């Protein structure tokens, strides 16, 4: 259980849940919509809420892992780490919105079916966008420790403030 105290292990363990888990949840929701199964739609919405919500734990464990790994990485890997981190800062909110809209759709299904129908379709669209955002984040994340996945140069990073250079006048 000491592994759970190490954010880099938690991050690696959970990082596919908001992408692959969400993709499975989308399939469940789509099948529920196609076959008009009310229970299936509710299960799909619940799975979308849970897998989208898991992005919070992936993001937080990634923040902790960054500080533990940064010094152990070479320059190119650090550049990919920074790129991975900067990419995660925007789509994370898309995951939160997706989870929220899925919960709203579930709660409103028995109360206001027409509104819930629109919220369900909005959840489906948001979930697809979240998967795309997660794949975009993961593209950079996979290149941190896997040079065989690097098909081009590392992303350009702004020069650090402590470069050791002094400007001559």
Q: Which ranges of the chain would DSSP assign to H, the alpha helix? A: 7-14, 22-34, 38-69, 75-88, 91-108, 113-145
Asked if 46 and 104 touch (Cβ cutoff 8 Å), the reply is: no
Asked if 53 and 97 touch (Cβ cutoff 8 Å), the reply is: no
Distance, CA of 16 to CA of 102 (rounded, Å): 20
Distance, CA of 4 to CA of 12 (rounded, Å): 11
Asked if 25 and 44 touch (Cβ cutoff 8 Å), the reply is: yes
| pLDDT tens for each residue of 126-139 | 999 999 999 999 88
Structure tokens at 124: 């489906």
Instruction: Report which of 42, 85, 78 is spatially closest to residue 160, judged by C-alpha positions.
Output: 78
DSSP labels for 149-163? Answer: G--SPPPP-PPPS--
Distance, CA of 167 to CA of 119 (rounded, Å): 57
Radius of gyration of the chain (CA): 20
Distance, CA of 70 to CA of 84 (rounded, Å): 12
Q: At what angle do helices 75-88 and 91-108 cross, to 10 degrees?
A: 30
Mind listing the pLDDT tens digit of every residue in the chain (169 residues)? 576 677 778 888 889 999 999 999 999 999 999 999 999 999 999 999 999 999 999 999 888 877 777 777 888 888 888 888 999 998 999 999 999 999 999 999 999 999 999 999 999 999 999 999 999 998 888 887 766 666 777 777 655 554 444 444 4
Q: How many residues does the chain have?
A: 169
């Amino acid at each position: 259980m000491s592994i759970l105290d190490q954010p880099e292990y938690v991050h690696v363990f959970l990082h596919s849940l908001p992408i692959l888990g969400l993709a499975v949840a989308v399939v469940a929701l789509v099948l529920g919509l196609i076959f008009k199964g009310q229970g299936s739609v509710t299960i799909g919405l619940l799975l979308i809420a849970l897998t989208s919500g898991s992005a919070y734990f992936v993001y937080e464990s990634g923040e902790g892992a960054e500080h533990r790994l940064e010094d152990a990485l070479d320059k190119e890997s650090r550049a990919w780490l920074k790129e991975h981190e900067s990419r995660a800062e925007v789509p994370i909110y898309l995951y939160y919105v997706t989870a929220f809209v899925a919960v709203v759709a579930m709660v409103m299904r028995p109360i206001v079916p027409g509104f819930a129908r629109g919220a369900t379709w909005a959840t489906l669209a948001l979930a697809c966008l979240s998967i795309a955002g997660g794949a975009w984040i993961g593209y950079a994340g996979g290149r941190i420790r896997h040079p065989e996945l690097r098909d081009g140069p590392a992303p350009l990073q702004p020069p650090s403030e402590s470069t050791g250079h002094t400007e001559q006048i």
